[in-house]
Each structure stands twice: as C-alpha cells, then as structure tokens.
Amino acid sequence: MKNRLFKAILTTAAVLSLTACGAATSAGTPAGKAKNIVIGISPDYPPYDDLTADGKITGFDYDMGEWVFKWLNDNGYNYSHEWKQMAFDTIISAIQADQVDIGISGFSYDPERKVLFSEPYFESAQVAIARVDEADLNSADDLKGKNIGVQLGTTGESAANEIEGAKVQAIEDMGICVESLKGGALDAVIMDSAVAANYAATGDYKILDGALVDEHNYIIAKEGNTELMDALNKAIDAFLKSDECSNLKNKYGLN
C-alpha cells in the first residue's frame, strides 16, 4: 500500500513539474513575469536629457520614455524598465554588448551606427552656438578654420569634421563642451537645435544662422531585436498622436 502510494505521489509530482515547465516562456521566463528593459541615457543634453539638483534624471526623453512604457503595459505588453546613466558615446557599444536594451538620448540617424532605429519621435537639426559677443561668427559659413567643440560620438561630430579647416575637439560631456566655449577655449559648439535654444535662452550664447544637418531623433536597440522595436514603434505612434506629446514639448520649450 505504501509503495503504491509513493509511486502515485511521484507520478503526480512529475505531471506538476511538466505543467510548470510548460508555463515558462522559451527564454525561461515564467509566464506573467515582466521583461525588464534597461534604458541607456546620457543626462547632459538639456532639454532632452538632464539631471535635477538632487541628481534625478529629467528631460523630454525621460518623460517620453516613461509615457511609452506605461502605454505598452496599458495595451497588453508586460515590461518593467530601468534607466542607466552613461556617457553618450558608450550607449551604442553597451547595446551591442547586451548591457542595456535600448538607448533614449536624442539619437539621430547615422548609417555607421550599427543599431536598430525606431520610427522618429522628434524633428531636429544640428546647429552651432557661439558666445553672444563673438562678432565674427554669425552663420554656419563663418565656422571655417575655427575651434569647434562637439559631444563625442554625435552626428554633430561628423558635421564638424566636414567644415573646411575646422579644428574639432570631441568632448565626452556636453556641459564641459559649453564651459570650454564660455571660457574661450572654443569658438563654437555644434549641437541639436533644441539644446542650442536652451543655451541661447541664458543670454550668453547665440545660435548661428543655417543648419549643418537636418535630422530626426530615434530610440535605438540592438540589431535583430525587432520584437521590442515593433512594440516601441506602436507606442511612439500613440505618443505622437497624444496630448502628452504637445504637453511635453511645451514643458521643455521644444515647439
């Protein structure tokens, strides 16, 4: 009797074990468990990405990203997410090495960036700023032969390298780049138009006439990660049609 009961218990346990295995995803994640997405961001590029006085991430990209993941989870997806601060020029390599899943940090399209690009979520351009009292610099045509600062790894760096005779300094942190401009070590700095407007609003800098590159901003992910990117594109489409898109543009002066 005891032996038969023991066999019955073993049989029941085996069935339960198989049932439990069948409830897991092919990746081994139990059904119902949220997939965690790590987001790379470089919070030194206001108003896209910045830090508050107490060190919290803020900016248009951050608020948009929060809206995107809320929308996904409200519409049948199951994601958790976390933000990881890093230098802008390291985000792509971190994606390729599976250290982060996506980048939301004012990325514009560059075919040399071996990543998957989302649908665009913002229209922008690369422009140059100079000190407001710099009489010799008024347009992009005046940048020839000048000392120009750019953030390392940006499309602004590529644009600067196309300027005849320019002496380009690629600096990891945009804040340091602008401080170098303020101190006279640089003649101009190239950046996104929205970021340029943010600095020009201080009264210390002016935006030079003429865009160096017209472009858009995108979320990036690892090549081949189409399942996640398809979901993100649906959320981006919903965001662009939402009132929150206009609200955030107004909040960060991006109109």
Give one DSSP letter per residue of 59-90, joined into a string: SHHHHHHHHHHHHHHHTT--EEEEEEE--HHH
Could you report the per-residue pLDDT of 122-180, keeping only the tens digit for each?
Answer: 999 999 999 999 999 999 999 999 999 999 999 999 999 999 999 999 999 999 999 99
Give pLDDT, residue 32: 74
Region 215-236 average pLDDT: 97
Give pLDDT, residue 202: 95
| Cα–Cα distance measured from residue 41 to residue 34, given in angstroms and rounded to the nearest whole number | 21
**Residue 117 DSSP symbol:** E
Write out the two tokens for 219: 């979320």
Domains of the chain, each with CATH number or no CATH: 35-122+216-251 (3.40.190.10), 125-214 (3.40.190.10)
Smallest Cα–Cα separation from 107: which of 98, 118, 99, 96?
Answer: 118
Whether pLDDT at 29 is above 90: no
| Confidence label for 25 from pLDDT (cuts 50, 70 and 90) | very low
Write out the two tokens for 39: 């987001």
E-strand spans in the chain?
A: 35-41, 50-51, 57-58, 79-85, 102-108, 116-117, 122-131, 147-151, 167-171, 188-192, 205-207, 213-221
Q: Is the pTM of this model over 0.85?
A: no
Give pLDDT, residue 23: 36
Least confident window among 15-19, 42-46, 182-186: 15-19
- How many CA atoms, within 13 angstroms, populate the side-chain half-sphere of residue 114? 4
Amino acid at 15: V
| Confidence label for 6 from pLDDT (cuts 50, 70 and 90) | very low
Region 4-9 average pLDDT: 37
Could you report the per-residue pLDDT of 88-129, keeping only the tens digit for each?
Answer: 999 999 999 999 999 999 999 988 899 999 999 999 999 999
Could you report the per-residue pLDDT of 37-83, keeping only the tens digit for each?
Answer: 999 999 999 999 999 999 999 999 999 999 999 999 999 999 999 99
Smallest Cα–Cα separation from 69: which of 249, 220, 228, 188?
Answer: 228
82 within 8 A of 38, measured Cβ to Cβ: yes
| Confidence label for 5 from pLDDT (cuts 50, 70 and 90) | very low
Average pLDDT, the chain: 89
Give pLDDT, residue 128: 98
Region 23-48 average pLDDT: 75
Whether pLDDT at 19 is above 80: no
Give pLDDT, residue 116: 98
Whether pLDDT at 18 is above 80: no
| Cα–Cα distance measured from residue 182 to residue 85, given in angstroms and rounded to the nearest whole number | 26
Residue 167: other Cβ atoms inside 10 A: 13
Give pLDDT, residue 8: 40
Cross-strand pairs, 129: 189, 207
Handedness of CA 88, 127, 220, 47 (dihedral sign): positive
